[in-house]
Structure 1
Amino acid sequence: MQNIKKSNFNETAMQAVFFLSAFVSVLAVVAICLFLLIRGIPAIAEIGFMDFIFNSKWGPTNTPASYGILSMIVGSVYVTAGAIAIGVPVGLMCAIFLAEFCPESIYKIVKPAVNLLAGIPSIIYGFFGMEIVVPFVRETFGGNGYSIMSASIILGIMILPTVITISETSIRAVPESYKEGSYGLGATKEETVFKVVVPAAKSGVLTSIILGLGRAVGETMAVVMVAGNAVMPLDKIKLLKPIRTLTTNIVTEMSYASGLHESSLIATGVVLFVFIVILNTALSLIKSKSLRN
């Protein structure tokens, strides 16, 4: 009887711990949302939604001041798209290799290296970009090297661990019966992998892409160091030109901003937060659609 009471007590205590953990997580999200909305929405209202979102002129210290972030939105989209174009094909091919073709002896080397990529600080990626990627872009393609292309290359490398790890896990989760059925119909290993296994793992692969996209959108330090951090007019935004993204704009000017300038930077965070919400919503829709299919 005493053991039963002790077991019930332990069960109730653990339920309370789990509930508290979940509550803290939800509370943190709500607190962040409230902070952004309370501090950011009034700034957007004062500046004007159209002037803030669709104006490409950013000059808080000018007379008159201007607070348009369109060029930075476009810059973020360009850099993120470039990172996805570079990181997703490489990451997916690496995941397929690790899951289906990699010998055990090589897997023991490659897998820890992939995990190590996830643990490297952003500032190290930034140093690598400044010393290796920027000179490579400058000498190969022209310009001064600090550009959308350099930032895309660095972010493409940074999202590799996310894409590789989740995609590999999804590919390994495909039932063996799928492969056996494909082999039974006379398909080769390559045909089985690319026409049966990968399509069956599409939900996880798409999840890895969306999460990699979120990592690329929110990255700051490495982008500051290699992108050039210049607000460019929309007609001058090119792959080899410097660019400023939403995240780099916040970190660059927050240290000395005050008044409406500071509020506009927080409002920039609101726009970035909306992007992340859209990405998470897209992820949920993709997963639910995959489950229905």
Structure 2
Amino acid sequence: MKKENIQEKLLSKSKNSQLEKFGKTITFFCIAVIVFVVAMIFFFVAQKGFSTFFVDKINPFKFLFGTTWNPSELGPDGKPLVGALPMITGSLIVTVLSAILATPFAIGAAVFMTEISPNRGAKLLQPVIELLVGIPSVVYGFIGLTVVVPAIRGVFGGTGFGLLSGIFVLFVMILPTVTSMTVDAMKAVPSFYKEASLGLGATRWQTIWRVLLRAATPGILTAVVFGMARAFGEALAIQMVVGNAAILPTSLTSPASTLTSVLTQGIGNTIMGTVQNNVLWSLALILLLMSLLFNIGMRAIAKRGSL
């Protein structure tokens, strides 16, 4: 009787409601802390970034579309030369081209791992993908510095430092991420799609190309955008191979710079509150907004795919 009474008390509605309220409170508190931290990050970066325009009175149009970056030098209007277009262009070029280069390889690897040879693919490719994900950025940058840059110098001439070196390094860096998410997208396709296609007389390649890949397109696009988001925010590896020249790139082999490379180089060499420091925070704000745009794009693609 005592055990039954104890069980009845533990399973009573009052006890369950108290535990439920406690769990909801803890969950709400954790979510509130996360939202608060993210909001404070946005607020802090935005406050510092907008100081360039409201405190230092720099024209936003000239900042976004100017082609000369030299914050320590004054232009004809008496304002520092802080044109961010070369860094924005360099970041977009290496991000988009590395994603375009990585996508076919990721799709091919995903098709092999899910449809062609799942057992062999799991044994061979999966450990390689996991290994590539765990390699630090500085190792990728060092390999790019000692392997990719000399190779490009030998083939195309010049110094070897430039956007093309950054594209190849980012291609290897984002390939495992895009591949893993593409594999998940392929596995998420309902099995009856494949069975219906084969039942209608389609070959295996026709089923893969016209049915499975098309059904997995939203997930594949999400993987590509996620890879682009990672490539856009990469700093150390790019800084080591891109050349770090704050000029508008004229070719893929010419030295250039990205938002992250300029930030990592200059943020420790400026004084807080100066124009030179504020313009770097403005670059950080652009980087943050672009990352937010990538996230919104991923959510829109995933939502459309779910419909």
TM-score bin (small chain): over 0.9
Distance in 2 between the 1:279 and 1:62 partners?
Answer: 34
**Are 1:27 and 2:42 an aligned pair?**
no
- Paired position in structure 2 for 1:241: 254
* Among candidates 195, 209, 214, match of residue 199 of structure 1: 214
- Paired position in structure 1 for 2:58: 47
Farther-moved stretch of structure 1 (41-50 vs 262-271): 41-50
Distance in 1 between the 2:255 and 2:217 partners?
Answer: 35
> Normalization by structure 2: what TM-score?
0.90
Distance in 1 between the 2:153 and 2:26 partners?
Answer: 55
Q: 1:218-251: CA deviations, max 9, x gaps? A: 000000001011112x3x5210011110111111
Q: 1:26-53: CA deviations, max 9, x gaps? A: 1121011100111111213421101110
**Are 1:67 and 2:65 an aligned pair?**
no
Residue 22 of structure 1, CA deviation: 1.7
The answer (yes or no) to whether the contact 1:83–1:153 under 8 Å persists in 2 is yes
> Normalization by structure 1: what TM-score?
0.94
Residue 106 of structure 1, CA deviation: 4.2
The answer (yes or no) to whether the contact 1:44–1:52 under 8 Å persists in 2 is no
- Paired position in structure 2 for 1:86: 101
- Paired position in structure 2 for 1:257: 270
Letter in 1 for 2:135: I
- Paired position in structure 2 for 1:14: 23
Residue 176 of structure 1, CA deviation: 0.9
**Are 1:57 and 2:64 an aligned pair?**
no
The answer (yes or no) to whether the contact 1:83–1:156 under 8 Å persists in 2 is yes
* Among candidates 181, 191, 195, match of residue 196 of structure 2: 181
Residue 63 of structure 1, CA deviation: 3.8
SS of the aligned residue for 2:124 comes to helix
- Runs (5+) with no aligned partner, structure 1: none
Q: Report how many aligned residue pairs link the two structures.
A: 290
SS of the aligned residue for 1:62 comes to strand
Letter in 1 for 2:261: T
Distance in 1 between the 2:252 and 2:280 partners?
Answer: 25
SS of the aligned residue for 1:228 comes to coil
Letter in 1 for 2:88: I
Aligned pairs for 1:260-279 within 5 A: 260-279=275-294
Distance in 1 between the 2:228 and 2:65 partners?
Answer: 23
SS of the aligned residue for 1:59 comes to strand
**Are 1:104 and 2:136 an aligned pair?**
no
Farther-moved stretch of structure 1 (71-80 vs 278-287): 278-287
Residue 103 of structure 1, CA deviation: 4.4
- Runs (5+) with no aligned partner, structure 2: 1-7
SS of the aligned residue for 1:159 comes to helix
Q: 1:189-237: CA deviations, max 9, x gaps? A: 11111110111011111110110010010000000001011112x3x52
Distance in 2 between the 1:6 and 1:129 partners?
Answer: 61
* Among candidates 110, 114, 124, match of residue 95 of structure 1: 110
Residue 9 of structure 1, CA deviation: 4.2
- Paired position in structure 1 for 2:243: 228
The answer (yes or no) to whether the contact 1:82–1:149 under 8 Å persists in 2 is no
Residue 185 of structure 1, CA deviation: 1.0
Letter in 2 for 1:20: F
- Paired position in structure 2 for 1:114: 129
Distance in 2 between the 1:249 and 1:40 partners?
Answer: 15
Distance verdict in 2 for CA 1:210–1:106, change over 3 Å: closer
Distance in 1 between the 2:19 and 2:236 partners?
Answer: 45
Distance in 1 between the 2:121 and 2:46 partners?
Answer: 50
Letter in 2 for 1:288: K
Distance in 2 between the 1:67 and 1:278 partners?
Answer: 24
The answer (yes or no) to whether the contact 2:113–2:119 under 8 Å persists in 1 is no
- Paired position in structure 1 for 2:91: 76
Residue 279 of structure 1, CA deviation: 1.6
Letter in 2 for 1:26: V
Farther-moved stretch of structure 1 (223-232 vs 95-104): 95-104
